Structure 1
Amino acid sequence: MTRLFRSVSTYVALAIGLVGLAFILYAWRLPPFTSSVETTDNAYVRGQVTVISPQLAGYVAEVAVQDFAQVKQGQLLVRIDDRIFTQKRDQARATLAAQRAALANSEQARRAAEARLRQSEANVESVQATLRTAEANWGRIEPLRERGVVTQSSTDQSLMTLDQARASLAASQAAVDVAKQDVQTAIVNRQSLEAAVEGAEAAVQLAEIDLQNTRIVAPQDGRLGEVGARLGQYVAAGTQLLALVPEQVWVVANFKETQLAGLRIGQPVSFTVDALHHAAMTGHIERFSPAAGSEFSVIRAENATGNFVKIAQRLPVRIAIDARQPLAERLAPGMSVVVSVDTASPG
């Protein structure tokens, strides 16, 4: 009887050992329990969460949305008091009008300078005609003076007229040079005023942009997070007012490097969502991260030490969620999922 009891105990212990060994082999996916399905629970739903901040400082005059609201692109979210920026825009417009008036005046000044130049050139022609007359008179009087036919006073008068005509010609030519410089000055001044007008136009555009930036609108369709803006609150540029979560989401699964050998782009993926009672959904591998997750950490591990323990690294894999799934619209960034990929499926 004792021998029989010992035999039964031996068989029971042996059975328990075999079951334990089988469990370990199954847990570690070792033969004969190897599988082509790779699974990880280090996976989460991701999305492009956009933090909305003002570009300028001021008091919040209106909060047009509430927490977790659905918004459309261009919809008003928050409005900052725009009175100061409206006055700055009007001031910039007035400066632009003054610069344009100065530019118009410079055009008139240029035309006046050109008219004075033409007048000076005409005066030179007139003086040249007078000089030719004086030279002709002197040419007639000078032979008569040598013969003593004309009086000395007539000779002196003719010579004085000739000298005056020559001096007038020099003065007229100098006046032409001055008029040319006046025209050039007007042209240069116009270029300066044109640059001033362009600067004033840019100032108006900047003022318009600042005025538009007092209206903070949704950059795209999506749902809002918690709205932090409060009526009457003073906000500075860069203050986080609220967050916008767009409708497009995906899954990022962090597989161990020992699981990556059979993964290919395009392979079908199945995953369950913890928040939806482990509801099953499908997707496909879209692309792989260019480096392991440890390479993007703020404090990177230093493996060049004497006490080294090898740890399997994880590589993020982006998974696109298949369209037209009833529960897809309930997925939100941050949800935990369990991802499974059959490496036997073609990519």
Structure 2
Amino acid sequence: MDTNSPVAEPVDERQQPARRADKQGKGPRRSDAERKSKADAPPEQDASPEESGASQDKRRNLFGSIRRHPFVTGAILLVVLLVAAGVVLWWLNARNYEWTDDAFIDARTVTVGAEIAGRITDVAVTDNQPVEAGAVLLRIDDSDYQASLKQAEAGVVAARAGITDVQAQTVAQNAKIDAAQKQVAQAEAALEFAKAEDKRNRELLAKGTATQQQAEQAASTLRQDQAALDTAMANAEAAKSQLAVLQAQGKSAEAKLQQAQATEDQARTTLTRTTIVAPVAGRATNITAAKGTYAQPGQVLMMFVPKDVWIRANFKETQLDLMRPGQPVDIAIDAYPDKTFHGRVDSVQAGSGTAFSLLPAENATGNFVKVVQRVPVKIVFDQPPDAYLGPGMSVVPTVKVR
């Protein structure tokens, strides 16, 4: 066999009739336009017999492997179905919850400061020490305030003594008024007798049975008794007017007593401010006070964190459609990754966080870019947590909204 002879190429039987027709000149005649368009058209890239055969071999191998390993194929299909079912179930369950990692522990921290001026004599707590409500936090020197209280108490005693003196004077003046009124009555009786005696003597003098001297003596006695009555009445009026003066002094003494009592109460209140106590149960922190330091009114001496804490969760406004107060919440705290706390939605703030910021957004000026706003939601614990929690600690709450 000659190795240099050309190898015959395989001929497609479907093309042989057309080739024979072309050779015999029996094929359809083509116009010049058809020949040109066919010449310009890109050649068809039919799959070669080798490629078609390779694809058929792959399909045969795939189906063959499936027939050879039916259990593996079934397991793969089962895993795919289970994964799809798991994804569907996860989505159906996840749509019932809303969560955010923009959440923190919050509390109403108390600023403990001095209300009076004085030197600090004792600091009864240390940093982060837990204390109960009413426990002593620190003391300020109270010697000056003790003296002020004693002075105020003495003023109250003096005011009460003044009231007692006025009351005694009033009693004595009432007795004087009674005596003056009796003198008036006595003078009136003497005046009536003198009038009768003067009338009788004048009648006797007219009849000639009495002397002129007797008549003049009776008239003089009448004038004296009249003067005595006028004097008694004047004394009675003076005594009554003095009673009005004493009544005014009594009111002034009562006012002085009230003023002295107010001064005493103020001094006692100021004295109590020398001892600063915890307003509620919690922890003392950020203590700046030290023994011997001179405190000024309004000076911050320490911060106080109450035990009552909650969660401030800043949800997107698009997450609030189904969120309502009372819905259960699962709380994950970054500081305690192995614990899950439970709570409930307490309230939703009436407005976004930016609306209450120092410089709220003003969208009516300049270019506007819509940004999803955050709305603070208050979440409270069902039970006081058995862990140390402080303001600012990171939390991830998950609210069940359906």
Alpha carbons of structure 1 residues 156 and 340: separation in structure 2 relative to 1, 3 Å: same
Q: Distance in 2 between matches of 1:272 and 1:47?
A: 18
Equivalence for 2:97 = 37
Q: 1:332 aligns with which of 363, 386, 390?
A: 390
Question: 1:199 is matched by which residue type in structure 2?
Answer: Q
1:18-51 CA-partner distances (Å, limit 9, x unpaired): xxxxxxxxxxxxx999834322111000112111
2:238 aligned residue (150, 175, 178): 178
Partner of 1:53: 113
| Structure 2 counterparts to residues 144-183 of structure 1, below 5 A | 144-183=204-243
Q: Give 1:249's aligned residue.
A: 309
Counterpart in the other structure of 1:213: 273
* Deviation string, structure 1 residues 275-332 (Cα, Å, up to 9, x no partner): 234743322211111211111101111100241001111111111123275xx42222
Superposition TM-score, scaled by structure 1 size: 0.85
RMSD: 2.0
Please report how far the alpha carbon of residue 152 of structure 1 lies from its aligned counterpart in structure 2 after TM superposition: 3.2
Q: How many residues get paired?
A: 313
Equivalence for 1:16: none
User: Which position in structure 1 is the counterpart of 2:375?
Assistant: 315
1:183-202 deviation per Cα after TM superposition (whole angstroms, max 9, x unaligned): 22222221221122122112
Which of 123, 134, 138 pairs up with 1:78? 138
Say which is worse superposed, 182-191 or 95-104, in terms of deviation.
182-191
Aligned letter for 1:137? E
Q: 3-state DSSP class of the match of 1:56?
A: coil
1 or 2 for the larger relative contact order (CA 8 Å, sep ≥6)? Answer: 1
| DSSP 3-state at the match of 2:160 | helix
SS in 2 for 1:155: helix
Quick check: 1:294 aligned with 2:362? no
Aligned equivalents of 2:200, 2:389: Cα separation in 1: 115
**Alignment partners' CA distance in 1, 2:137 and 2:93:** 56
Distance in 2 of aligned mates of 1:150 and 1:90: 81
Q: Work out the CA distance in 1 between the residues paired with 2:259 and 2:167.
A: 19
1:110-148 Cα deviation digits (max 9, x unpaired): 011100100001101111121122112211211233344
Match of 1:341 in 2: 399
SS at 2:332 equivalent: strand
Aligned to 2:247: 187
Q: Which amino acid aligns with 1:334?
A: G
Letter in 1 for 2:389: L
Query: 1:273 maps to what in 2?
Result: 333
1:53-100, CA deviations, whole angstroms, 9 ceiling, x for partnerless residues? 122111111111111111111111111110111011000011111111
CA–CA distance in structure 1, aligned partners of residues 384 and 131 of structure 2: 22
Could you tell me which amino acid in structure 1 is paired with residue 313 of structure 2? Answer: A
Identity %: 35
CA distance in 1, matches of 2:184, 2:323: 95
Amino acid at match of 2:324: R
Partner of 1:104: 164
Q: Which residue of 2 aligns with 1:24?
A: none
One-letter amino acid of the counterpart of residue 124, structure 2? A
Distance 1:68 1:217 in 2: 15
Distance 2:314 2:260 in 1: 55
Structure 1 residues 32 and 200: alpha-carbon distance in aligned structure 2, compared to 1, 3 A threshold: closer
Q: Aligned residue for 1:27? A: none
Query: Structure 2: where are the runs of 5+ without partners?
Result: 1-50, 52-90
Q: Secondary structure at the match of 2:100?
A: strand
Question: Could you say if the C-alpha distance between residues 32 and 248 of structure 1 is closer, same or farther in structure 2, counting changes exceeding 3 Å?
Answer: closer
| Aligned CA distance change for structure 1 residues 306 and 223 (closer, same or farther; 3 Å) | closer
Give the secondary-structure state (helix, strand or coil) at the position aligned to 1:333: coil
Q: Distance in 2 between matches of 1:65 and 1:342?
A: 42
Structure 2 Cα separation of the partners of residues 229 and 291 of structure 1 = 39
- Three-state SS of the structure 2 residue aligned to 1:330 is coil
Q: Distance in 2 between matches of 1:195 and 1:250?
A: 51
Matching residue of 2:284: 224
Aligned residue type for 1:339: P
Give the residue type in structure 1 aligned to 2:397: V
Structure 1, unmatched stretches of 5+, are 5-30
Which one-letter code corresponds to 2:102 in the other structure? Answer: N
Alpha-carbon separation, structure 2, partners of 1:306 and 1:55: 48
Residue range with higher mean Cα deviation, 307-316 or 154-163 = 154-163
